[in-house]
Amino acid sequence: MLKFLFVSMFLIMCGWGETGLVLSSLAVMFLFINPIYMSISGFFLELDWISWNLILLSVWVILLSIFSSMKIYFFNKLNKLYLCVMIFLFLFLVLTFLVSDFMLFYMMFEACLIPILLIILGWGYQPERSQAGVYMFFYTLFGSLPLFFIIIYMNKYIGSSYMFFDKNYIFNSVLIFFFMITGFLVKFPMYSVHLWLLKAHVEAPVAGSMILAGVLLKLGGYGLIRFSFFFFDESMLLIKEFILVFSLWGGLFLSLACLRFMDMKLLIAASSVVHMSSCICGIFILTDWGIKGCLLMMVAHGLCSSGLFCLANIVYERTNSRSMNLNKGLLNILPVFSMWWFLLIVCNMAGPPSLNLVSEIMLLISIINWNKFSIVILFFLGFFSAAYSLYLYSLSQHGVFVKNKSKFSGGLVFEYFVLFLHWVPLNILILMSALMLCLNGFVI
């Protein structure tokens, strides 16, 4: 794995074309690594099935976000600095998923915040981006600061901060457990600590939104999976069930709120929180299908939401507005993009044959197996998720377009290419889900 990191470090000295070529090559090389018997160890580095999936997702989303930022490449004088920030973010993400030491994991986990903060503050659209940056910085910093002290305490108590140590050392303090998971729940984010995500998405450029939804949210899920061996203690049962119930109801309330949003990016960002609420439940239930379903959902959501943010940016570049009150009748103006809206929204509402369908089925089975009465909440959650997805499509594609049609330009080749590279893996990876169902014991 060090050779991949070594090659990636030299991307800082490359241009946009060379960076895209190298990242594409890295993605292809990762695809040819055999993931079935994967257990690659190195100096403070370990690669298993979970890391392999999320690193491949990181390479793919970073590559597509660079392709989507061609407007910065052509019209912004700081395009070289922008590319350097993206490469540093890529390195921090890969190291977060690779390191096998909790302290190094925490350092990389927090280091990912710096490049995305620079992207929002430096290349955001509105003056309110400074407020969004402050929200994101303080929410994530204060949420994960207790985790730093717990890792230090763990190092003193156990004598090591190695991720894969003897699982017999389990803390039975509810307070330690709560502070340990708070940083991951904020990063996921869980309902009630999700305000920073909505503000960051609205003010971020297209690459910032794609990386936030595609990869950075998965840091919280990855951390919860790595720390999940602490959840087995029976003294944590009450707080685990509280988080499960709160996440389900929070996802339901936010799916209802999505029906009131008129901002495209705000609606897509809120739908990310709704999807992540079921992922939180899958992890805290601690079943094999729940955690595997959560991992599949993170990969599927990373591709689907990234593609939707790319589409929202394509519309914004042509109309200078994200409001669905103004962006009506796009089916008559941009019919090809309307097809892509339909394909990605169907994936967002877990339509076949997307990977979202398999992941949601696995999560539904695990949640219903945990509590039979949860089927009522899950029914309304699925109903309103489909409702706001159809609401987004019908309100934006139908109706009368209110802006001047003469200012419109058609789609560019690289825009179709980026959307194609979002949708095709999302529907082909359903074949890999059968392989994941055959894998046992790869998580804990």
pLDDT in tens, 335-394: 888 999 999 999 999 888 888 998 999 999 999 999 898 999 999 999 999 999 999 999
Position 3 scores a pLDDT of 54
Position 5 scores a pLDDT of 56
Q: Evaluate if residue 121 carries a pLDDT over 80.
A: yes
Q: What are the extents of the domains in the chain? A: 2-438
- CA distances for 348 relative to 249, 271, 430, angstroms: 20, 9, 14
Position 440 scores a pLDDT of 45
Please tell me which residue, 256 or 76, carries the higher pLDDT value: 256
The widest CA-to-CA distance across the chain, in whole angstroms, is: 69
DSSP-assigned states of every residue in 109-129: HHHTHHHHHHHHHHH-SSTTH
351 contacts 389 by C-beta, under 8 angstroms = no
Position 17 scores a pLDDT of 54
161 contacts 81 by C-beta, under 8 angstroms = no
Q: Evaluate if residue 159 carries a pLDDT over 60.
A: yes
Position 37 scores a pLDDT of 45
Please tell me which residue, 49 or 78, carries the higher pLDDT value: 49
Q: Evaluate if residue 24 carries a pLDDT over 80.
A: no
The string of pLDDT tens digits covering residues 404-421 is 554 666 778 888 889 999
**Of 201, 422, 431, which Cα lies nearest the Cα of 303?**
422
Position 442 scores a pLDDT of 42
Find the range with the poorest average confidence among 2-6, 175-179, 352-356. Answer: 2-6
Collapsed DSSP state (helix, strand, coil) of residue 284? helix
- CA distances for 383 relative to 23, 89, 248, angstroms: 39, 36, 14
Collapsed DSSP state (helix, strand, coil) of residue 39? coil
The string of pLDDT tens digits covering residues 135-144 is 888 888 888 8
The string of pLDDT tens digits covering residues 268-289 is 999 999 999 999 999 998 888 8
Q: What CA–CA distance (Å, rounded) separates 118 from 169? A: 39
143 contacts 186 by C-beta, under 8 angstroms = yes
Cα dihedral 26, 32, 34, 40 in deg (nearest 10)? -30
Instruction: Report the percentage of the chain scoring pLDDT > 90.
Output: 28
Continuous segment of H or E residues that includes residue 40: strand 40-41
Position 43 scores a pLDDT of 59
Please tell me which residue, 441 or 430, carries the higher pLDDT value: 430
What is the rounded average pLDDT of the residues 142-170? Answer: 75
Q: Evaluate if residue 7 carries a pLDDT over 60.
A: no
